[in-house]
Structures are given as C-alpha cells and as structure tokens.
Structure 1
Amino acid sequence: MNITLRQLRVFRAVALEGNFSRAGDSIGLTQPAVSRAILELETQLGVRLLDRTTRDVVLTDAGHALALRLERVLDELDQTLQDVGGLARARRGKVRVASSPTLSANLMPSCIAACAEREPGIQLVLLDRIQQDVLGSVRSGEVDFGVVIEPVGTDDLNVELIMKDLFVLVTRPGHPLAHGHAVKWSALTGYPLVLLDHASGSRRLIDTALIHHGAHCEIVQELGHPTTVFRMIEAGIGISVMPALAMPPEGIPGLVACSLTPVVQRDIVLVHRRNRTPSPLAQRVWEIIRDVAGARLTPP
C-alpha cells in the first residue's frame, strides 16, 4: 500500500469534525482536496471508512477502528519528529576531532578557542595523532572528522580544502642561506637536512619538492615532532624544510624561517566518512575550523 501521512492526517481531521468542509478548514485544505484524500485512502485500504450524508459524514466500523488507533500513532509520530528535529537545534554536546601534530599544535588551539566562544555548549575533544592514525580514526568512526595534510587514497572519504600552507627553510641566523631573500630549492644541495619522518603528512610532499627542484641533500636526522627538529637545527646538526604552520606566529628564538622558491604548498583538508553525514554539532565545529583556518594563512 502507498498510504501517505497527508491522507492519514486528513482522515483524522474528518473523523474529529464529522464534516469535509470543517475538516478542510482545520487543516488548511479545500473541501475537494479533503474528499480526494479520503477517496485515495479508502482505495489503498480497500475498505470504506466513511458513510456520506447530505450534510455530514459518519464513520463506518472500519473507520472507527482506524480512528481509535490513528490518534495515538500520529501523536507518537509528531513527538518523534519533534525529538529528531531537536537534534538539529541542539547546542550542547561533544565533538571528537583528530588532527596531525603540526596542525594540533599550531592550528587547533585557535579553533578550540573559537568553538568555546561561538558555541559554548559544544566540547571540542582533540585527538593528536600521526596522519595515518587520524585517517584510521575517521574511518573507524572513533572521531567525527579529521584535519589532515593532502591525504592519498581517499575514495571512501569526503575531503574539503580549507587552507594552503607554504613550505619554508628553517636555519640558524648565521647560516649562509639565511640572507633575507627567497632561497631556491636547488641551493639546498650539499647541506645536511633534518626532516620530519614519514609518519608526517608533509614528508612525502617535501621529498617530492626536493627531487623536482634539483636539491641533492643528505638527510641526517628524521624525527617525529617539529620541536625536536628545531632543537637539532639550533644545535647545528642541519637545516630543515618545514611547513610554515609549524612555526609559531612569534617565531622561534635562535632560528629564522626563509621563503623558498619556487613556492611549494601543502593542502590542509577536513575529512569525514563519505557515506556518514556529520551530526549537526559536528557540522558546526567543521564550519568553525574552516573559518579559523581560512583566516590564518593563504586561503584556498
């Protein structure tokens, strides 16, 4: 049977009013529209629900049986729809977001502060993990969504670009390349490099840029955290190519960041499972992170 909610609501109105015209007035329909809905309902059920008189209508036995049960069913349905609709208007709850380390340290604090200001009833819980673990958390449903760097193999994910981040050269102030001008990638040739390891979402992009732009360097250390890379540079162990976002806005005492040419950027993206719509709360947090990221560096 192809019975519609509209037909059931029309029948309930007729059962209550005992008249097609009055029923139509109560639910905002014309008398012909009411008659047509009742006829369609009776056709679908294969039973007569109303006996028509010249002025009013009378419920048949089948009509009485339907009317007795229908009132409760429609009331429960209305309450259910109100409850579900309330989820879209909810302003209190917890949203879990995973992000890779450089983003956790230098983008997400601003996002968490903005969320606390704009949506004080939402608690943004951050999981700080290496990129592959972030993607695993998104796929498993452990988190609502993730913030990552140019992921590969994302056919099962929805991906939204929120900002672009430059790669920069990081050295000690007295280094020959720290001359205040943009440094060519090829000029890095021969200098020892201290880089983030391959667990970082940026490492693949840095390796590609070094090869593409003819920089032949020895990688002397591969490390998991930007802070460790910076300490190695301070100690004179080597120079580094790092995402600009890894550098605090106030800079790092004892180190300088120089622009590289040609410009190479990495994409910062938000990801969630393709066939799972984020909850209304998660969608609000998604939009806040997008807004904060767009104001930080080069917009996409």
Structure 2
Amino acid sequence: MNVTLRQLRVFLAVAESRNFSRAGNQIGLTQPAVSRSIVEFEAQLGLKLLDRTTREVALTEAGQSLAARLHRVLDELEQTLLDVQGMSNARRGKVRVASSPTLSANLMPACIAACAKVEPDIELVLLDRIQQDVLDSVRAGEVDFGVVIEPASPDDLHCETILADPFCLVVPPGHRFAGRKQLRWSALDGEALVLLDHASGSRRLIDQALQHQGAHCTVRQQVGHPTTAFRMLEAGLGISVMPSLAVPPAGFRNLQVVQLTPRIDRAVMLVHRRNRAPAPLAQRVWGLIRDTATDVHPAP
C-alpha cells in the first residue's frame, strides 16, 4: 500500500465539505485534481469511500469509519513532525563525548571551554576512556560520538579527521640523542624504549612506523599514560616515541623533544556510528570540536 499524506488530506477535506469543488478550494487544488486523488486513494485501499451523485457526495460505511479516525491520526502526525522539527532548533541539552586519554588531557579541555563559551546551554559531558572502550561506547550508542586515534577497523563507523599529530622522540639529558633537533627513525635501531601500551590507539601506529623504518628496538616498559613514561625517562630507563600532543605545551624541564624524520602522523578523528547521524545538538558540538582542534593545533 502506497497511501500519501496528500491523499489523506484530500479525502478528509471532501468528507467534511461533501463537495469536490469546495474541498479543492479549501486545500488549493482543482476539482479534477481532487477527483483524481480520491480515485487513486480508493484504488490503493481496494474499497469505495465515497458515493458520488450529480447533487452530493456521501460517505460509504468505510468512508465514515476512516473519516472518524483520520482527524486524530493527522493531528498526532502533525504534532510528531513539529516535535522532530523542534529538535533542529533545540538550544539546550546534554551531549556525551568519549575520548581516549591523551586527547582527553591535551585536546578536550580547550574544546570543553570553547563549548561553554560558544554554546553555554549545551552541557558537554566527557567520558575519559581507553581507545577500545571509546569505540565500544560509540558502537553501543552510549555516547553521541567519540574522539579517537584512527581505529584499526572503522568499517561500521563514520570517521572525520580533525588533526594530524606527528610522532616525536623524547629523550633524557645525557642521552646520545640529546641536543639533536631532528633524527631519522632508523637511528633508533637497537635502542631501549618506554612506550604506551597496546590499549593506546597510538601504539599500533608506533610499532608500524618502527618496523617500516627499520628500527628494531627493545621495549623495556609499556605504560598506560604518557606522564608515567616521562617519569621513567627521567629515571634513565630509556627513550620514548610519543605523539606530539602528549608533550606538555610548556615543554619539559628535564627531557628533550626531538623531531623524527620522515614525519609520520597519527590521525585524530571524530567517529559516530555509520548511517546514524548524531542529533542536531551533537552535530553542533562535533563542529565545535573540529574547529577548536584546528585553531589550537593548526596544520603545519
């Protein structure tokens, strides 16, 4: 059955006026267009709704039953459409965003502050979780969207890259690489590293970069947070490859950052479930985070 909203409105107008011409004037259609719509409607239903004579239009029993219920159905439909349309104009509400730790610490504070300033009626609730838990939250619909490092299996996700974050080398004073401005990845061959563990979205990319650049290293320690790794470097336990966002904005007092060449980036992405667009409020926060990331960490 392929009944249209227009057919329903035409039938109701005829049922109330009992006249095709008056019904047409009421809804802005010609008398032939009204007649054609009723014929098509009856054909879709497979029954007669109106009895037509030269003097009047009368409702059949089926037509009377339909007309009696149609007012309520159309009123409910109109109210539902108005409610949904109102969502696009909503200015107040809560948006839940999940983010992996280095992004929660070094990107999201600026985004939350920008949201409070630009969208004061939107409450941005941040869930600080490891990468896999962020992705699970997005897929389960627990959050509106996530901020992650490029996922390994994004087939069921819509992803938008908002930032290209290069990897860098962090070394303690006195190390043979201290004082260098830049260094090739291959020079790390044989070094002892302190790295983020595999719960981090960056670890897979770091391992790939080391392998592709011919740097065969010993991983001495694997930790869950960059700050832990930095304390281990200060204790002389090795050197570390880190995303640039993990480096404190003011730099280090006891460590040094060395640029790695060739430049290899991790992609910072916004993700939501494919084919399920975020609600209008969440879309505004999505755009705000994207713009804030560009402003705070512009592309080189």
* TM-score between both structures, scaled by the size of structure 2: 0.89
Deviation at 1:167, TM superposition (A): 0.3
Q: How do 1:45-56 and structure 2 match up within 5 A?
A: 45=45, 46-53=47-54
* 1:277 to 2:243 alignment: no
Q: Structure 1: which amino acid aligns with 2:236?
A: G
Q: Which residue of 1 aligns with 2:30?
A: 30
Deviates more, 1:124-133 or 1:165-174: 165-174
Q: Which residue of 2 aligns with 1:252?
A: 252
Q: Which residue of 1 aligns with 2:100?
A: 100
Matches of 1:65 and 1:219 in 2, distance apart? 77
Alpha carbons 1:162, 1:299 under 8 Å: kept: no
Over 3 Å counting, the alpha-carbon distance change for 1:211 and 1:44 in structure 2 is closer
User: C-alpha offsets along residues 235-277 of structure 1, whole Å, 9 cap, x if unaligned?
Assistant: 3332211000111322233322221111111111222222433
Q: Which residue of 2 aligns with 1:215?
A: 215
Q: Which residue of 1 aligns with 2:188?
A: 188
Deviation at 1:104, TM superposition (A): 0.8
* TM-score between both structures, scaled by the size of structure 1: 0.89
Matches of 2:114 and 2:10 in 1, distance apart? 48
User: C-alpha offsets along residues 101-128 of structure 1, whole Å, 9 cap, x if unaligned?
Assistant: 1111111111212222232222221111
Q: Structure 2: which amino acid aligns with 1:183?
A: L
Q: How do 1:110-129 and structure 2 match up within 5 A?
A: 110-129=110-129
Alpha carbons 2:50, 2:57 under 8 Å: kept: no
Q: How many residues were matched structurally?
A: 299
Deviation at 1:58, TM superposition (A): 4.5
Over 3 Å counting, the alpha-carbon distance change for 1:255 and 1:38 in structure 2 is same
Deviates more, 1:266-275 or 1:158-167: 266-275
- Helix, strand or coil: the match of 2:210? helix
Matches of 1:89 and 1:109 in 2, distance apart? 26
Q: Which residue of 1 aligns with 2:67?
A: 67
Query: Among the aligned pairs, what percent are the same residue?
Result: 67
- Helix, strand or coil: the match of 1:277? coil
Alpha carbons 1:198, 1:204 under 8 Å: kept: yes
Matches of 2:164 and 2:299 in 1, distance apart? 6
Matches of 2:150 and 2:100 in 1, distance apart? 11
Matches of 2:294 and 2:5 in 1, distance apart? 44
Give 5+ residue unaligned stretches, structure 2: none
Matches of 1:162 and 1:249 in 2, distance apart? 19
- Helix, strand or coil: the match of 2:270? strand
Alpha carbons 2:110, 2:292 under 8 Å: kept: yes
Matches of 2:17 and 2:252 in 1, distance apart? 78
Q: Which residue of 1 aligns with 2:263?
A: 263
Deviation at 1:180, TM superposition (A): 4.7
Matches of 1:39 and 1:16 in 2, distance apart? 17
Q: How do 1:117-196 and structure 2 match up within 5 A?
A: 117-196=117-196
Q: Which residue of 2 aligns with 1:12?
A: 12
Give 5+ residue unaligned stretches, structure 1: none
Matches of 1:147 and 1:44 in 2, distance apart? 49
Matches of 2:247 and 2:131 in 1, distance apart? 19
User: C-alpha offsets along residues 44-77 of structure 1, whole Å, 9 cap, x if unaligned?
Assistant: 34214143436x6444554443322222221122
* 1:82 to 2:82 alignment: yes
Deviates more, 1:96-105 or 1:209-218: 209-218
Over 3 Å counting, the alpha-carbon distance change for 1:225 and 1:66 in structure 2 is same
Q: Structure 2: which amino acid aligns with 1:201?
A: G
Alpha carbons 2:48, 2:60 under 8 Å: kept: no
Deviates more, 1:109-118 or 1:98-107: 109-118
Alpha carbons 1:13, 1:23 under 8 Å: kept: yes
Alpha carbons 1:50, 1:63 under 8 Å: kept: no
